[in-house]
Structure 1
């Protein structure tokens, strides 16, 4: 009897909560930790729809990043997008790069752009094109060539480190490692640190994925670019 009474009370509370208008639900949801949003959106179709709409994300953006509304639109090839995209970009900037200032959001957008190009595309553009797009974005926003190259390198390293360890990532890293060297003027040249990280992940995290031919092809490229190479990379 007690269990039935408790169930009835919970059901009644749920029904009452479900009758709240959307604007009040939004004010409640944006105060809940973002880690719980996916679970909340699965409770009801109405709530799932709220998380797809611009109103909730705009409210969350203003609450979490009050200065975001003052950010001017920027030139360049990477668009800013709507509130959900902007929220994700600012979240990335804060939690992955810990950067402050006007460039925060652009760094986050650039990270999302590169990660999506590498993960979602069946055949991503060559790394030189992606790197050039990132450099153009930062230069068009007033960054110096040195700063643009530095930021682009940080973004590449962060994306590579946050790729899932699966066959798709192995094939992607192998393709990046085997890309031919193309002469490009600074700052469009690929970072030495980024190239090293690609080979390092292949020979450590994905070593068991190699077949005999692939291993020696990638090893030959590594020896061509780096001298000396770590002994840990040797031995199939």
Structure 2
């Protein structure tokens, strides 16, 4: 009897909730922590459509980042996209990077761009990707030194954000063995980025390297760096 009443109450609540207009649902959903959005979008087809649409993300953008609408469009090869993309970029900028407390939307978009490109089966050469990052920052008025620093930070953050799976192992191996084409500063990847690639291969993915691959990667590392940590040598 009690169970039946509970089920009826839940059904009544669900029916009432389903009658709310979309604009009210949007105002409710954007006040729920972002960690719960994926679950909410799976409850009803109507709710899933809201999360696929522009209206909800525009409202979320305005609520969480009210100054974002004042930002001017920027030049450069990396597009800004619609509200969902902008929200994701600002979320990345706020929670992954610490630029003197500044939430830099450009950095977030560049992070998303690089991460997506590295995950493609037909990934462009890393030198082209790095050059795209540099061009984006220079087009936005950053100095060459600042462009180099920001691009390095983004590379390191993307590499650290990747899951430890076969795809990441293959990517790191490709990056380690890729020919180092000489390009003028700041279009060459920084030593910090190249170091992190080898560091992750020889620590996080060491067991994935067979003897021949290990020797090939180790030879590249010895050619690139003067001092090799003992752990890279298997000690």
Structure 2 counterpart of 1:215: 214
Structure 1 counterpart of 2:51: 51
Does residue 133 of structure 2 align to residue 138 of structure 1?
no
TM-score when scaled to structure 2?
Answer: 0.98
Q: How does 1:1-236 map to 2 (within 5 A)?
A: 1-99=1-99, 100-101=101-102, 104-119=104-119, 121-235=120-234
- Between the two proteins, the alignment pairs up a number of residues equal to 234
Offset at residue 228 of structure 1 (A) = 1.3
Q: Deviations over 1:136-160 (max 9, x none)?
A: 0000000000000000000000000
Work out the CA distance in 2 between the residues paired with 1:29 and 1:208. 44
Offset at residue 227 of structure 1 (A) = 1.1
Work out the CA distance in 2 between the residues paired with 1:148 and 1:164. 27
What is the DSSP-based 3-state SS (H/G/I as helix, E as strand, rest coil) of the residue aligned with 1:229? coil
Work out the CA distance in 1 between the residues paired with 2:166 and 2:13. 47
Work out the CA distance in 1 between the residues paired with 2:36 and 2:181. 46
Work out the CA distance in 2 between the residues paired with 1:30 and 1:235. 50
Work out the CA distance in 2 between the residues paired with 1:130 and 1:198. 15
> Following TM superposition, where does structure 1 have runs of at least 4 consecutive aligned residues deviating by more than 3 angstroms?
none
Q: Deviations over 1:23-57 (max 9, x none)?
A: 00000000000000000000000000000000000
Offset at residue 212 of structure 1 (A) = 1.2
Structure 2 residues without counterparts, runs of 5 or longer: none
Offset at residue 182 of structure 1 (A) = 1.0
What is the DSSP-based 3-state SS (H/G/I as helix, E as strand, rest coil) of the residue aligned with 2:59? helix
Considering only aligned residues, what root-mean-square deviation do their CA atoms show, in Å?
1.0
Work out the CA distance in 2 between the residues paired with 1:46 and 1:143. 43
Work out the CA distance in 2 between the residues paired with 1:164 and 1:89. 20
